[in-house]
Amino acid sequence: MLAGPRLFGTLLFLPPNTDDNLIRRGCQIPSMCTLCGLAQETSSHLFINCPFAIEIWNWLASIINLPCNFTSVMEILKIAERNWSAQFKLVVLAAIIFCFNIIWYCRNQKRFNDKIILPRSAINLIISGTSLLVFLAFKSPKIVPWILSL
């Protein structure tokens, strides 16, 4: 169903197949953000600047009750580097991973299945995924270092 940690690694090292990256590779396609229709679809727009993504990131900031810098993937990752307990750091990092994952998932659902997922539903998916991942991490502590190394 969801892309998992592979998407997260892709965001850091290889750009996902957003319109701008497909155009750079020679595909001739018109480009418009699938989620908002307000700008060309770039990785930066889709995951950082799109009103849909902004709503997701603002929700995350409200949950952790801190002002956050959402201007780049690296700035978002710095949120998890604060001096928190290992357990809270795990929860925050899992939530960040799922935010990226669900934004991509919602984009693909709309683009390929003509299914619109509203931000509130996306947030519920993030909560469910984060809860499950953290539950599994505490049931099987061997995966915690793997999650924290992402």
Domain that holds residue 138: 5-148
- C-beta separation of 20 from 26 below 8 A: no
Full DSSP string of 102-119: HHHHHHHHHHHH-----H
**119: alpha, beta or left? (left if phi > 0; alpha if psi -120 to 50):** alpha
User: Which position has the higher pLDDT, 91 or 144?
Assistant: 91
The number of folded domains in the chain is 1
For residues 15-21, average pLDDT: 70
How many C-beta atoms lie closer than 10 Å to residue 78's C-beta?
A: 12
Q: What mean pLDDT is reported for the chain?
A: 84
pLDDT in tens, 43-86: 899 999 999 999 999 999 999 998 888 999 889 988 988 899 98
Give 114 or 66, the one with higher predicted confidence. Answer: 114
Query: Which of the four pLDDT bands, split at 50, 70 and 90, describes residue 20?
Result: low
Please determine, for residue 31, whether its predicted confidence score (pLDDT) is greater than 60: yes
- Higher-scoring residue by pLDDT: 85, 145: 85
pLDDT above 50 (res 5): no
Residue with the bigger pLDDT between 138 and 110: it is: 110
The answer to whether the beta carbons of residues 61 and 82 sit under 8 Å apart is: no
